[in-house]
Amino acid sequence: MNDGLTEDSHNELKVLEENETYGSFNVFSKDVLGRLGRLTTKSGIIETPHLFPVINPLIQPITPKQIQDSLRCNAIMTNAYMLRKNFDEAARKDGVHKFLDFDGIVATDSGAYQILAYGKIAATPLEIASFEESIGSDIAVILDVPTGFEQDRNHARYTVEETIRRADLTIQNLTRTDILWEGPVQGGTHLDLVAESAQQMGKRPFDIYALGSPTQVMEHYMFDKLVDMIITAKMNLPINKPLHLFGAGHPFMLSLACLLGCDLFDSAAYAIAAKREKYLTETGTLSLQNIEYFPCSCPLCSTREPKEVLSYDKVMRHRFLAEHNLRVCLSEIMRIKQAITEGRLWELVETRARSHPMLTGALKRLSKHRNFLERHSPSRKSRGLFYVGSTGLARPEVTRHQLRIQNNYRKPLHAKTLLLLPQTKERPYHKSRLFKEIDDMVNDNSVHVCFYAAPYGVVPSEIDEFYPLSQTEIAFPLSDETRRYVTDRSVEYVLQEKYAHIVLLADTAIWGNELVHRFRQLKNKTRKNIVIVMRDNDVSDKTAASNVLKHLQRTRT
């Protein structure tokens, strides 16, 4: 099998496929909060994460049939309000699948975006819900009231309360049982209202939940606020249901949203960008007239030159751009799925975060939510970790080690002296030459050897083989933030565990002077018996071990 799934994931997927029922959402692989899942609808199964290409029933540069046949996308989304306004009778008569000439899965939005854009629409929540039932939508969104961007608190509260009222009204009047309904969470950037909305919507029997009003936040590249909004919603919604992020469709931010636990996306960005003569990539947006070389090997870009596309008439040019843009979006979704199967989603997000400073800021924002990320992330992976910089300090694996050391770990019962060594190139650390030299000389269970190691902090030698402590590749030189984090964890450990003596082997060539400075401060403040042994850059492991041994012998006397 070459699909990247582990044997356990394949076995779990086989079991899920045999037991899938209408409306079920089954997860068969996870990384951080990102998950590969299967959502069963009456017209087929959506594998998540999934991007619904939004179909404009009035003007569509790529037909739904082309999206299904050429781009192999089995689920699209269209606007129920626009269908009702412009094609009411035909859509009811044919049903949405036949009307769009699409025999896959069709989701329908309710027209709430038009409320956001124009203030109101000529339809009530019950009229929209009744229409969505009449055209046979597979997935349908209730007509909520979006909060929007930079709205005052009073208006935001109104949108939350009115959306809940409309949710109850809609649920009470549904007549079909074969449509999956989405319940939107409102509140905008007022996080307490997002939490309240999520808690209330989570009590309603929706099959899917959605985060409303993120579009304008994303348009302003305020991805740090988006992180807070998504995590706040996730914390307060049923964890076993899919989460839909409305209006998210630019490929460079999809991996971040998946890492935060979003399962479904929808966007017309591929078509809107094409109309503006914009060319989407995984790292940003280019103007067609400024492109000398297409940075893409899709079937379109690999057989044409930019100058040739510029010579097309407007309709052909926009069709070319729309198809390319959608291809790159769908390709990124597949890349995210593969990253989840490999346990590499965090690394993919770090790569994408370098595309824009605001994405980098959003990645740094994850440190605020590190405990929640840790709580809901898998404890083991089939592959090791790559640590490339301080943004990785918020990784669930780093947080998990810190919590286990603080809450679950206690030093060996007979250990009286802590010997704190720098991490070694060899792993596990207890198999390094430095450790062996010292172990041969000491041979005393009263001496407990630990390592200070990036990015985890203190790593006791007796557990350094455990995942992921010896399965992490680290980029050197270390950042100041990384050295500071490890120093803080080392000081915390010394204060937590009651050793009679502490011997620190300080490697300033790699770690700088911060660790030495903090341990000197600790010695002066607490009067602990702390000895600092300096290791010069050109000193061998044997000489370093010998120097350490001299100080260990002094602690005994």
Please list, in sequence order, all residues whose beta carbon lies within 8 angstroms of the beta carbon of residue 505, skipping any fewer than 6 positions away.
419, 420, 421, 422, 533, 535, 544, 548
Cα–Cα distances in angstroms (integers) from residue 540 to residues 437, 501, 533, in the given order: 11, 25, 14
Catalytic residue among 69, 101, 109, 480: 109
Q: Helix, strand, or coil here: 463? A: helix
Tokens representing residue 448 in the block = 């407990």
The rounded distance, in Å, linking the Cα atoms of 383 and 402 is 21
Q: What is the DSSP string of 479-542?
A: PHHHHHHHHHHHHHHHHHS--SEEEEEE-HHHH-SHHHHHHHHHHHHH---EEEEE--TT--HH
Instruction: Give the strands of the sheet with 34-41, arranged side by side.
Output: 25-31, 34-41, 44-48
Annotation says 109 is catalytic: yes
Chain center to CA of 529: 45
Q: Cα-atom radius of gyration of the chain, to the nearest Å?
A: 28
First to last CA, the chain: 63
The rounded distance, in Å, linking the Cα atoms of 173 and 507 is 70
Paired sense of beta strands 457-460 and 105-109, if any: unpaired
Apex 427 CA angle, 421 and 429, nearest 5: 25
Please list, in sequence order, all residues whose beta carbon lies within 8 angstroms of the beta carbon of residue 217, skipping any fewer than 6 positions away.
149, 188, 189, 225, 226, 229
Q: What is the DSSP letter of 479?
A: P
The rounded distance, in Å, linking the Cα atoms of 489 and 506 is 15
The rounded distance, in Å, linking the Cα atoms of 53 and 323 is 11
Single-letter code of the amino acid located at 490: S
Tokens 């007796």 belong to which residue?
462
Tokens representing residue 405 in the block = 């050391």
Q: Helix, strand, or coil here: 86? A: helix
Q: Are 227 and 199 in contact (CB under 8 A)?
A: no
Residues with a catalytic annotation lie at 109
